[in-house]
Chain A
């Protein structure tokens, strides 16, 4: 069953709190991604991970960090969340470049 699973689905945090978004995939994909989706902006890449402990910044990495200690898990961390980080966050994975990307259902994060 090819799946990308994100937890939690909904999260409300206060400004300044730390946030941990978790993602898992069961396809043994080497490459995983974190995107955020904002109205009218499409999806913006935050980080890409090519394998365990092999991570690269995407277009909007500021204020975020990631952790990949196992191939099937990829975490997004917000240290001291800000209100402008309110968004929907999607985790994704793919087998190879220029092939189908599989997305999770998203985490709606609200920072108040």
Chain B
């Protein structure tokens, strides 16, 4: 079955710098790639997604890139702020599936 690997378990950046979190997936049928944010003690909150018909999507300071050949996708957070500190999860699903397969999470710390 599908496996999603999230490469950075922790990431520290200085406020104002960019943060990049990378994920790879195994199933070529995967076509939907959302990202979720989890703040301490809370549930996951959707932040952005990308579908396989595009290779880039931006929402304010968040950019998602998708490289279908390499089966890799990444979340770029520009001009980071302390409130960006959280655990970020990538996920993947095929178009016919209800099930999201999650990566193991990246703890992002934005230092003032």
Where the two chains meet, the residues of A that have a C-beta atom closer than 8 Å to any C-beta of B are 4, 31, 40-45, 48, 50, 58-59, 90, 92, 94, 97-98, 100-106
Contact = CB atoms under 8 A, between A and B. Distances in A.
Q: Is the interface of A mostly helix, strand, loop or mixed?
A: strand
B73 interface: no
B31 A98 contact: yes
Interface stretch (B11-19, B59-67, B78-86, B91-99): B91-99
Contacts of A104: 43
Interface of B: 1, 4, 6, 9, 31-32, 34, 36, 41-46, 49, 51, 89, 93, 95-100, 102-105
B106 to A, nearest CB: 10
Contacts of B95: 97-98
Residue of A4, A45, A97, A104 ringed by the most chain B CB atoms within 10 A: A97
Nearest to A50: B98
Contact of A106 (B32, B43, B51): B43
A3 B6 CA distance: 28
Chain B CB count within 10 A is highest, among A43, A44, A103, A104, for: A43
B100 A101 contact: yes
